[in-house]
Structure 1
Amino acid sequence: MSPVRGGRSVPPRAGGVGPSVVALGGGHGLAASLAALRLVTENLTAVVTVADNGGSSGRLRDELGVLPPGDLRMALAALCDDTEWGHTWRDVLQHRFDSAGPLAGHALGNLLIVALWELYDDPVAGLELVGRLLNARGRVLPMASVPLQISAEVRGLDPADPRAVSTVVGQAQVATTRGEVLSVRLDPSDPPDCPPAVAAVEDADWVVLGPGSWFTSIMPHLLVPGLREALRSTEARRILTLNVELDTDETAGFSAVRHLETLAIHAPDVAYDIVLADPSIVEDESGLRAAAEGVGARLVVSPVASQGRPGTHDFLRLAAAYRDLIGPALA
């Protein structure tokens, strides 16, 4: 990135009213969680995965060597001020160019974020400035200080040998694999964390992990050593929010129980306090309760799925569930 110009720096925004909550994830799952949590507290921090290698984010990452900005942009948009000003700048941030030229497919917000990173040579400062433009109801931070690559061990990609295990490289490739994902890892395997993100988890009252793509948005947070240690040692209570669509490309055939088992395999030292699940995914409540207890949590079953958009969370229902768990809604 470019050197800092004129010694510019951006102080962090002050926390708002309510308990300190940190939400971890990426993409549409994190956006849904943030839309719900902002109705419960103003003291909200999003910690976002930085392994995307597809689309506009992947192109900017490859060309400029920056963190992929797309999931960070979506989190900022989810936290925009609920006013005409906030909604206008949210729409500007989310706008994608439709042309036959080199701008085709780029989100304007991605370009804005990367421009600020080049001006300030500091990802956190650039994100703070975009947050101020949106008058965002919280902070957005990357989970690591460098762009990451996700690799997965996948079974079933070779028609001649269905039991053979192959390595699939790249977030976009893992998310759409036709095989059975057995495990994931990061490259670099010991990436530098983002110190403000670690500090936020350490100082939080509550940490919310999920919903989101299990292997490519949720699991990576457990594989950054500094962030994983903060999740392990924090005095915050930890909520694990399960997806309302379990059978996706990267988790084809997975039950809710298996989702919990994969987390335990990848990070056996990280415990949770609450597992939140929609009734639609609970096939065997006693089995899911036992699996939740296996990661240190109690199971809470609450209707949080959208009635009109299958496979997605209803942010108002999710907010009600979080409010019941975390505390009363803001006045």
Structure 2
Amino acid sequence: MPAPARRGRRRSRPLRVTALGGGHGLAASLAALRHVTEDLTAVVTVADDGGSSGRLRQEFGVLPPGDLRMALAALCHDSQWGHLWRDVLQHRFPGDGPLAGHSVGNLLIVALWQLLDDPVDGLRVIGELLGSQGRVLPMSLEPLTIEADVHGTDGDGPALVRGQVQVASTTGRVGWVRLVPEDPPANPEAVQAVLEADWVVLGPGSWFTSVCTHLLVPELAHALETTTARRCVTLNLAPGASETAGYAPEQMLEVLSAYAPGLTLDAVVADPSAVDDVDALGRAAAGFGADLVMRQVSYADGTARHHPLRLAAAYADVFAGVTADLRRA
């Protein structure tokens, strides 16, 4: 296992980064990280059960392809060819017929899985078609289901809520999340990517259903806790309107600690616009052994979207060891 690069060490190869998550959050992180390194691996959750992914999963018993598709699209080659195939992958059929709501990419991924009988190899072929800068791996090779204990807004509960879509859209407060089957096997290549990385990046994204799910796969959680790589958590720009509604940024870190008590961090990246109590967040980051890095990583229009170049600059500074806190009074 190669040792991670340390500050001041001359490097003979690109920085090796593994990013974990799912959906739009992971895609945002990948869109930034591709500006920082050429050696990039995405490890993607496989618990989605909604929309096109849910329909294909139910009909064919396959991994839900949607989050994997979004990660591949985020890594497409920066050329006319790459952008064209990215747009093809992301194209969703309109109307109300049998194909309505399906994305071309989801169908193409499932077709390759059926032809090659290998989820990882099928994703590799799509990556070659896109000229992807990096690779995309599922965190497990079997589709998983999310269950959560949810407390009602009136104090009732907890009630059992089942399914990624239901948990992500709940109006109650999520108390604890589980995966079904319990203690699922990890994709060995995903575990290897974590162990061999120089940096591992968690977040942003739906905290319970995209980020914390990786900590519920025992082999992957153990790899995250024991890897010699440095670890960075990227916090969301808004608490969200459903599963983490009302959570302060420091509470998001407390959630990570609850699921992985042995996890240590080196950096926590947060946008000043999303932080009300900088001192509380700083203490929470210090509890993981991490530096709090405050940077504007959002678009200037006020929307809760990570700007790829601003986030890339933050990552570049973090990876280079520049962890000066730029918060302003």
Alignment TM-score, normalising by the size of structure 1? 0.91
> Pick from 220, 224, 230: which aligns with 2:223?
230
> Structure 2, unaligned stretches of length 5 or more?
1-11, 322-329
Matched, 1:281 2:277: no
Which residue of the partner structure matches residue 266 of structure 1? 259
Show the 5 A alignment for 1:115-264: 115-156=111-152, 162-264=155-257
SS in structure 2 at match of 1:116:
helix
Aligned equivalents of 1:167, 1:270: Cα separation in 2: 27
Aligned equivalents of 2:102, 2:216: Cα separation in 1: 29
Once the two structures are superposed, residues 153-184 of structure 1 have per-residue CA deviations (whole angstroms, 9 ceiling, x without a partner) of 10016x6xx33210110000000000011111
Structure 1 consecutive aligned stretches of length 4 or more whose deviation exceeds 2 Å: none
Cα gap change, 1:309/1:129 in structure 2, threshold over 3 Å: closer, same or farther? farther
Aligned equivalents of 2:302, 2:268: Cα separation in 1: 23
User: What letter matches 1:262 in structure 2?
Assistant: V
> Pick from 286, 295, 303: which aligns with 2:296?
303
Aligned equivalents of 1:247, 1:63: Cα separation in 2: 31
Does the CA contact (< 8 Å) of 1:25 and 1:211 recur in 2? yes
User: What letter matches 1:150 in structure 2?
Assistant: I
Does the CA contact (< 8 Å) of 1:148 and 1:186 recur in 2? yes
Aligned equivalents of 1:62, 1:227: Cα separation in 2: 26
Range with greater deviation from structure 2 (290-299 or 193-202)? 290-299
> Pick from 59, 64, 67: which aligns with 2:55?
59
Alignment TM-score, normalising by the size of structure 2? 0.92
Aligned equivalents of 1:164, 1:20: Cα separation in 2: 44
Aligned equivalents of 1:317, 1:271: Cα separation in 2: 25
> Structure 1, unaligned stretches of length 5 or more?
1-15
Aligned equivalents of 1:237, 1:25: Cα separation in 2: 17
Once the two structures are superposed, residues 29-73 of structure 1 have per-residue CA deviations (whole angstroms, 9 ceiling, x without a partner) of 101100000000000000000000000000000000000000000
SS in structure 2 at match of 1:93:
helix
User: What letter matches 2:45 in structure 1?
Assistant: T
Aligned equivalents of 2:250, 2:24: Cα separation in 1: 22
Aligned length: 310
Aligned equivalents of 2:13, 2:111: Cα separation in 1: 31
SS in structure 2 at match of 1:77:
helix
Aligned equivalents of 1:281, 1:38: Cα separation in 2: 24
Matched, 1:34 2:30: yes
Cα gap change, 1:80/1:67 in structure 2, threshold over 3 Å: closer, same or farther? same
Does the CA contact (< 8 Å) of 1:40 and 1:327 recur in 2? no
Does the CA contact (< 8 Å) of 1:50 and 1:148 recur in 2? yes
Aligned equivalents of 1:285, 1:74: Cα separation in 2: 32
How far did 1:309 drift? 5.3
Aligned equivalents of 1:188, 1:292: Cα separation in 2: 32
Which residue of the partner structure matches residue 325 of structure 1? 318
SS in structure 2 at match of 1:96:
coil
